Amino acid sequence: MDEKTGIQALERIARDQVMEEGKPRRLDCGYTRHGTTCLMAAIDVAKGQLVNHRLHATRNEEDFLTFIKKTVAVIPPEDEVIFIADQLNIHKSESLVKWIAEQIKFDADLGIKNYKGILKNMESRKAFLENPQHRIRFVFTPKHCSWLNPIENWFGKLQRQVIKYGNFSSVKELENKIEKYIEFYNQCLGKPLKWKFKGFIKAQKLKHLNSD
């Protein structure tokens, strides 16, 4: 899961310029802004379909917890739930830790935020959220490596196929088109993720690009 923030509802002042042979499609540079929205989305890598999404004007701790609650609610209670996420502060919040502790029936003392225990700071909360013994847990990508998260590929498709060349007279119209794209994608385009990258070989020396 991840968030795609600041999605702009742009209305083009003029139509796209007609494509000519040997020339790419060209957009007129003039547009009118009609506001922005934020998309939170979670994709099931085993099916390649979005299991939950939320379009909202803000992205804060409360928004994120609401999204996580609704995502977990659509997954069978006997299944393990593993979220891949980046290390944004709202992904390691006090409210999230408390809710997950309640869901997994964790009855030990959580401590006090900014003072002691599991809730003390983001690192201690991160360690709790990553605990492999919990039914609901997180796997956090390294900092500046959010591209490792499969949802980023889906966001790229959304950008290319809906947003980049879109013409939206309002945020509502933008959100409606995103909703329709998600429905179409789940029905027609979703397929299991096959991760082909097997990692770098640490012992292998990299060739100099500028060598003679």
Does 71 share its domain with 153?
yes
Does 63 share its domain with 157?
yes
Does 71 share its domain with 170?
yes
| Per-residue pLDDT tens over the stretch 66-109 | 999 999 999 999 999 999 999 999 999 999 999 999 999 999 99
Strands, sheet with 31-44, edge to edge from the N-terminal-most edge strand: 2-12, 31-44, 49-56
Joined together, the tokens standing for residue 86 give 């980046």
Task: Of 71-75, 143-147, 173-177, 199-203, give the lowest mean pLDDT range.
Answer: 199-203
Does 156 share its domain with 68?
yes
The pLDDT mean for the chain works out to 91
Does 112 share its domain with 178?
no
34 within a domain of the structure (yes/no) = yes
Does 42 share its domain with 130?
no
pLDDT of residue 21: 84
pLDDT of residue 30: 85
Calculate mean pLDDT across residues 128-155.
93
pLDDT of residue 33: 95
205 within a domain of the structure (yes/no) = no
Calculate mean pLDDT across residues 20-37.
85
Joined together, the tokens standing for residue 103 give 């869901």
203 within a domain of the structure (yes/no) = no
113 within a domain of the structure (yes/no) = yes
101 within a domain of the structure (yes/no) = yes
pLDDT of residue 206: 56
Which range is most confident: 15-19, 67-71, 161-165?
Answer: 67-71
Cβ count within 10 A of residue 72: 20
Q: How many structural domains compose the chain?
A: 2
pLDDT of residue 66: 97
pLDDT of residue 23: 79
Domain range for residue 40? Answer: 1-76+149-192
201 within a domain of the structure (yes/no) = no
199: left (phi over 0), alpha (psi -120 to 50) or beta: left
Cβ atoms of 149 and 84 within 8 Å: the answer is yes
Task: Of 23-32, 39-48, 115-124, give the lowest mean pLDDT range.
Answer: 23-32
Task: Of 25-34, 70-79, 125-134, give the lowest mean pLDDT range.
Answer: 25-34
172, burial (CB in 10 Å: exposed 0-12, middle 13-18, buried 19+): middle
